[in-house]
């Protein structure tokens, strides 16, 4: 072969080698380009995956509006106090008309119950218009594991709030949410894998279904960032209750029963659809109720009672002991910001007589209908029948029948879902001070005509929307209610007691759609005392009011059943 041929061959080989190298580089670049495109698509198409990765932890984030006040406060406190360790934080703050609720959580074993003394706590306020601070003692502190609920006095202006744990330690300030624009609670209904969200802010009408297609639920660590949210359509919307489908990822998380704060489920809220969509702020995390039992399992209790109260501890003992005697076996008590040590009363009752009483903290203002819906869901798998009555209301059987007789009669009628019971309203009965013998013996004079009614329901018969107007619920299609005869079962409602007790009714009502006594609204409503007006001023003739019929039936029964034969004393 000639020298020229060899050089030509070598040149051709070199060119081929370079061509293959360029082709390889091009293929690699193409693969990289495809990989990057797939990553970008995945990031936008599946943003929810970021919610549940193992490296994500919910954290307290300070918004831009909070940081200036915090910096000013920190500068002022630098010589006296220091920020608390990261094991403790204010998870949420909510501003109510008369107080601020702080939800404080510990993130490890060094929780506030171990290292903080309640008398040392101080609420710290940082008004946005000033760098000065205000220190006030809290109204009350309630331990509801794994959280502490700290109730602080309210402030007259917009403010950031913190909690001083000791003279040298405080938590970072945060800006409270408004109580009337908030998703405040949520539960998962495992019967249809839906989530019920309890929310204020849409001003929906009482006892009416709203158009569900206008709303949706959103799930995420921060409900203000739309692109990181899971959304599901609303199934039903009524009053303050929105029912939506639950994402499968959240159902799996709840079924794993992970209680630690780092593994809490995401927040859930409600959003309107269409132009000008509004997402409510949220402090609600889906609460897991017990999964439904096997279909043929017999429920534990024939009759349970649910109530919502505030500062009624002094009446609780008589109310529970009486209803236990007539056949109630379980009590669900929703505490609406009491500060009269109701837990101690319940502990004594439970330990001495083994009463099955559950106290559930329900701090939300004017949410009785929502609280009763929440209670009905909790009781559904445990109770055949559930009564909704107040602590000043007592079921009574004038004809000497029993509660079990009544329930057995209607349990055999599958289409009956609710028993509506008339309420007789009792007055002060001539008394000027609280009767030491209790309300059932102390008040014996009532109005002639009954006022309103209260209900005993089958929880399984309730409409899925959970619509209720405190006195009764809406039922499923095909179910009906029965008005109980006044000779069979009534409720003695000790509504107008001595002025010392009655005047407390003037301060904040729990029902959503009932005006507060001091508001100039619906002055003629049956929820008010006739002719009393809006001022907590005792009329001179108060002890003799509301007395039309002398009714000693329940008093005589109570004395016969409960009074000590030797001393005549009653157990409460």
Phi-psi label, residue 201: left if phi above 0, alpha if psi -120 to 50, beta otherwise: left
Q: Report residue 113's pLDDT band, with 50, 70 and 90 as the boundaries.
A: very low
Q: Are 299 and 378 in contact (CB under 8 A)?
A: no
State the Cα torsion 372-375-379-380 to the nearest 10°: 60
Per-residue pLDDT for 54 more than 80? no
Q: Give the up-direction half-sphere exposure of residue 535: CA atoms within 13 A in the CB hemisphere.
A: 3
Domain boundary among 159, 177, 195: 177
Instruction: List the one residue out of 501, 511, 528 whose CA is nearest residue 368.
Output: 511
Each residue's pLDDT tens digit, 252-264: 877 776 444 446 7
Q: Is residue 21 part of a domain?
A: no
Per-residue pLDDT for 46 more than 50? no
Q: Are 103 and 143 in contact (CB under 8 A)?
A: no
Each residue's pLDDT tens digit, 238-255: 999 999 999 998 888 777
Domain count, the chain: 3
pLDDT, average across residues 366-374: 94
Q: Which of 10-19, 431-440, 542-551 has the lowest mean pLDDT?
A: 10-19
Q: Report residue 75's pLDDT band, with 50, 70 and 90 as the boundaries.
A: very low
How do 169-170 and 134-136 pair as beta strands?
unpaired
Question: Can you give the CATH number for the domain in which 168 is found?
Answer: 2.60.40.2320
Collapsing DSSP states into helix, strand and coil, what is residue 565?
coil
3-state secondary structure 512-552: CCCCCCCCCCCCCCCCCCCCCCCCCCCCCCHHHCCCCEECC
Per-residue pLDDT for 206 more than 90? no
What is the rounded end-to-end Cα distance, in angstroms, of the chain? Answer: 123
Q: Is residue 427 part of a domain?
A: yes
Question: Can you give the CATH number for the domain in which 190 is found?
Answer: 2.60.40
pLDDT, average across residues 20-35: 49
Give the per-residue pLDDT at 339. Answer: 86
Q: Is residue 47 part of a domain?
A: no
Each residue's pLDDT tens digit, 478-508: 999 999 999 999 999 999 999 999 988 877 6
Domain boundary among 177, 193, 218: 177
Each residue's pLDDT tens digit, 434-493: 999 999 999 999 999 998 899 999 999 999 999 998 888 999 999 999 999 999 999 999
Per the structure, the complete domain to which residue 340 belongs is given by 301-562
Give the per-residue pLDDT at 533. Answer: 67
Backbone torsions φ then ψ of 371, nearest 5 degrees: -65, -40
Per the prediction, the chain carries an average pLDDT of 81
Give the per-residue pLDDT at 294. Answer: 61
Each residue's pLDDT tens digit, 76-96: 333 334 555 557 889 999 999
Per-residue pLDDT for 40 more than 60? no
Do 125 and 233 lie in a common domain?
A: no
Give the per-residue pLDDT at 505. Answer: 81
Measured between alpha carbons, how far is 14 from 408 in angstroms, rounded to an integer?
99
Q: In what order do the strands lie in the sheet with 267-272?
A: 267-272, 215-220, 230-238, 241-245, 194-200, 182-189, 287-288
Do 306 and 412 lie in a common domain?
A: yes
Residue for token pair 């008398």:
119
- Give the angle 137-140-145 at the CA atoms, nearest 5°: 125
Question: Can you give the CATH number for the domain in which 380 is found?
Answer: 3.90.550
List of residues 6+ apart from 98 with CB closer than 8 A: 154, 508
Residues linked to residue 358 through DSSP beta bridges, in sequence order: 332
Q: DSSP of 58-109, one letter per residue?
A: ------TTTHHHHHHHHHHHTTT-EEPPTTEEEEEEEE-SSEEEEEEEESSS
Do 275 and 173 lie in a common domain?
A: no
Measured between alpha carbons, how far is 424 from 439 in angstroms, rounded to an integer?
14
Whether the link from the prior residue into 146 is cis, omega within 30° of 0, is yes
Do 143 and 247 lie in a common domain?
A: no
Q: Report residue 272's pLDDT band, with 50, 70 and 90 as the boundaries.
A: very high
Give the per-residue pLDDT at 516. Answer: 67
pLDDT, average across residues 521-547: 78
Give the per-residue pLDDT at 175. Answer: 92
Measured between alpha carbons, how far is 572 from 554 in angstroms, rounded to an integer?
16
- Give the angle 395-401-405 at the CA atoms, nearest 5°: 90
Q: Is residue 424 part of a domain?
A: yes
Note the helical H segments in 168-276.
248-255
Q: Is residue 150 part of a domain?
A: yes
Q: What burial letters (b/e) apply to 189-206, b meaning 16+ CB within 10 Å?
A: bbeeebbbbbbbbbebeb
- Give the angle 479-189-178 at the CA atoms, nearest 5°: 105
Measured between alpha carbons, how far is 469 from 512 in angstroms, rounded to an integer?
9
Give the per-residue pLDDT at 92. Answer: 93
Measured between alpha carbons, how far is 494 from 197 in angstroms, rounded to an integer?
34
Collapsing DSSP states into helix, strand and coil, what is residue 180?
coil
Per-residue pLDDT for 67 more than 60? no
Measured between alpha carbons, how far is 443 from 564 in angstroms, rounded to an integer?
20
Give the per-residue pLDDT at 518. Answer: 62
Per-residue pLDDT for 111 more than 50? no
How do 301-309 and 453-457 pair as beta strands?
unpaired
pLDDT, average across residues 289-313: 83
Instruction: Report the percentage of the chain scoring pLDDT > 90.
Output: 56
Instruction: List the one residue out of 155, 170, 31 whose CA is nearest residue 95.
Output: 155
Q: Is residue 8 part of a domain?
A: no
Measured between alpha carbons, how far is 20 from 396 in angstroms, rounded to an integer?
97
Residue 342 CA: distances (Å) to CA of 6, 121, 335, 373: 104, 21, 8, 22
Do 437 and 413 lie in a common domain?
A: yes
* 530's tokens: 């006739």
Do 362 and 389 lie in a common domain?
A: yes
Measured between alpha carbons, how far is 473 from 477 in angstroms, rounded to an integer?
13
Each residue's pLDDT tens digit, 386-403: 999 999 999 999 998 999
Measured between alpha carbons, how far is 492 from 423 in angstroms, rounded to an integer?
6
Q: Is residue 12 part of a domain?
A: no
Backbone torsions φ then ψ of 244, nearest 5 degrees: -130, 160
Give the per-residue pLDDT at 49. Answer: 35
Give the per-residue pLDDT at 81. Answer: 46
Give the per-residue pLDDT at 250. Answer: 86
Give the per-residue pLDDT at 268. Answer: 96
pLDDT, average across residues 360-378: 94
Do 364 and 503 lie in a common domain?
A: yes
Do 170 and 228 lie in a common domain?
A: no
Size of the chain in residues: 572
pLDDT, average across residues 145-168: 85
Do 172 and 186 lie in a common domain?
A: no
Do 460 and 534 lie in a common domain?
A: yes
Q: Is residue 476 part of a domain?
A: yes
Collapsing DSSP states into helix, strand and coil, what is residue 552?
coil
Q: Are 48 and 230 in contact (CB under 8 A)?
A: yes
Whether the link from the prior residue into 567 is cis, omega within 30° of 0, is no
Do 336 and 221 lie in a common domain?
A: no
Domain boundary among 177, 206, 240: 177
Q: Give the up-direction half-sphere exposure of residue 260: CA atoms within 13 A in the CB hemisphere.
A: 8
Q: Report residue 1's pLDDT band, with 50, 70 and 90 as the boundaries.
A: very low
In this structure, what DSSP letter does residue 172 have? P
In this structure, what DSSP letter does residue 178 have? E
Collapsing DSSP states into helix, strand and coil, what is residue 5?
helix
Do 357 and 222 lie in a common domain?
A: no
């Amino acid at each position: 072969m000639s020298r020229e041929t060899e050089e030509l061959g070598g040149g051709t080989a070199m060119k081929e080698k370079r061509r293959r190298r360029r082709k390889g580089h091009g293929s690699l670049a193409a693969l990289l380009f495809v990989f990057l495109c797939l990553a970008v698509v995945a990031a936008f198409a599946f943003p929810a995956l970021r919610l549940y990765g193992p490296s994500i932890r919910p954290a307290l984030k300070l918004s831009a509006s909070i940081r200036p006040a915090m910096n000013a406060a920190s500068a002022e406190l630098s010589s006296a106090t220091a920020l608390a360790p990261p094991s403790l934080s204010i998870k949420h703050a909510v501003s109510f008309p008369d107080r601020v609720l702080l939800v404080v959580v510990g993130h490890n074993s060094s929780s506030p119950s171990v290292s903080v003394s309640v008398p040392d706590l101080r609420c710290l306020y940082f008004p946005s218009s000033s760098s000065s601070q205000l220190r006030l003692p809290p109204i009350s502190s309630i331990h509801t594991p794994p959280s502490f609920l700290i109730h602080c006095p309210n402030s007259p202006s917009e403010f950031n709030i913190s909690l001083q744990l000791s003279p040298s330690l405080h938590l970072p300030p945060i800006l409270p949410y408004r109580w009337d624009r908030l998703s405040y609670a949520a539960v998962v209904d495992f019967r249809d894998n839906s989530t019920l969200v309890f929310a204020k802010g849409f001003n929906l009408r009482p006892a009416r279904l709203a158009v569900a297609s206008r709303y949706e639920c959103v799930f995420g660590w921060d409900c203000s960032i739309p692109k990181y949210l899971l959304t599901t359509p609303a199934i039903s919307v009524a009053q303050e209750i929105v029912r939506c489908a639950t994402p499968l990822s959240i159902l799996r998380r709840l079924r794993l029963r992970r209680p630690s704060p780092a593994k809490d489920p995401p927040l859930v809220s409600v959003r309107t659809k269409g132009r000008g969509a509004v997402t409510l702020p949220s402090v609600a995390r889906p609460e897991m109720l017990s999964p439904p039992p096997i279909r043929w399992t017999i429920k534990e209790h024939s009759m349970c009672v649910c109530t919502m109260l505030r500062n009624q501890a002094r009446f609780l003992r008589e109310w529970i002991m009486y209803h236990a005697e007539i056949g109630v076996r379980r009590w669900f008590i929703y505490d609406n910001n009491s500060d009269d040590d109701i837990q101690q009363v319940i502990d004594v009752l439970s330990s001495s007589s083994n009463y099955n009483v559950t106290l559930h903290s329900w701090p939300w203002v004017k949410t009785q209908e929502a609280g009763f819906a929440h209670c009905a869901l909790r009781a559904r798998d445990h109770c055949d029948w559930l009564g909704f009555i107040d602590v000043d209301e007592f079921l009574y059987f004038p004809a000497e029948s029993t509660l079990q007789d009544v329930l057995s009669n209607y349990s055999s009628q599958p289409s009956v879902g609710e028993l509506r019971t008339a309420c007789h309203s009792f007055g002060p009965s001539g008394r000027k001070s609280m009767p030491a013998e209790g309300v059932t013996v102390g008040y014996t004079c009532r109005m002639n005509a009954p006022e309103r009614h209260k209900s005993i329901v089958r929880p399984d018969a309730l409409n899925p929307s959970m619509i209720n107007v405190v006195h009764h619920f809406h039922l499923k299609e095909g179910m009906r209610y029965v008005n109980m005869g006044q000779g069979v079962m009534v409720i003695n409602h000790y509504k107008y007691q001595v002025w010392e007790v009655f005047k407390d009714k003037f301060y904040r009502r729990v029902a959503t759609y009932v005006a507060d006594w001091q508001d100039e609204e619906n002055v003629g409503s049956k929820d008010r005392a006739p002719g009393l007006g809006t001022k907590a001023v005792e009329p001179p003739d108060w002890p003799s009011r509301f007395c039309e019929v002398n009714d000693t039936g329940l008093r005589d029964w109570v004395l016969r059943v409960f009074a000590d034969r030797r001393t005549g004393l009653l157990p409460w």
